[in-house]
């Protein structure tokens, strides 16, 4: 059963066939209905082919998104949180009368 915890997996040849149908003028609505695929899937595959020539998610992510969650990525996240806190601090400071 397909769902958030059990997503469907499609063969690369099937994805390219869907992209070809879309690029030949077939409406995405009809493609989705005929092949029972989700709303954003054909557009994501088409965009991936245009951007990198691949429909694989790892090929179409930004370099930061492909980086494993580890000390470097976590450190950058914490630095951004501190920066936001420092910028917001004056707005929350108590005014002394």
Return the HEC string of the chain. Answer: CCCCCCCCCCCHHHHHHHHHHHHCCCCHHHHHHHHCCCCCHHHHHHHHHHHHCCCCHHHCCCHHHHCCCCHHHHHHHHHHHHHHHHHHHHHHCCCCC
Question: pTM (2 decimals)?
Answer: 0.53
pLDDT, greater one: 60 or 82: 82
54-73 pLDDT, tens digit each: 766 656 566 666 566 567 77
20-55 pLDDT, tens digit per residue, is 999 899 998 999 999 998 888 888 888 888 777 776
Q: Which among 35, 8, 11 has a CA at the least distance from the CA of 21? A: 35
pLDDT at 17: 92
Which of 49, 41, 47 lies closest to 2, judged by CA? 41
């Amino acid at each position: 059963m397909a769902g958030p915890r059990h997503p469907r997996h499609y063969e690369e040849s099937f994805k390219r066939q869907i992209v070809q149908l879309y690029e030949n003028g077939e409406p995405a609505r009809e493609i989705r209905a005929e092949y029972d695929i989700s709303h954003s899937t054909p557009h994501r595959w088409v965009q991936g082919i245009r951007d990198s020539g691949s429909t694989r998610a790892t090929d179409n992510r930004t370099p930061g998104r492909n980086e494993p969650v580890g000390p470097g990525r976590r450190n950058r996240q914490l630095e951004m949180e501190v920066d936001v806190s420092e910028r917001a601090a004056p707005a929350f400071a108590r005014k002394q009368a």
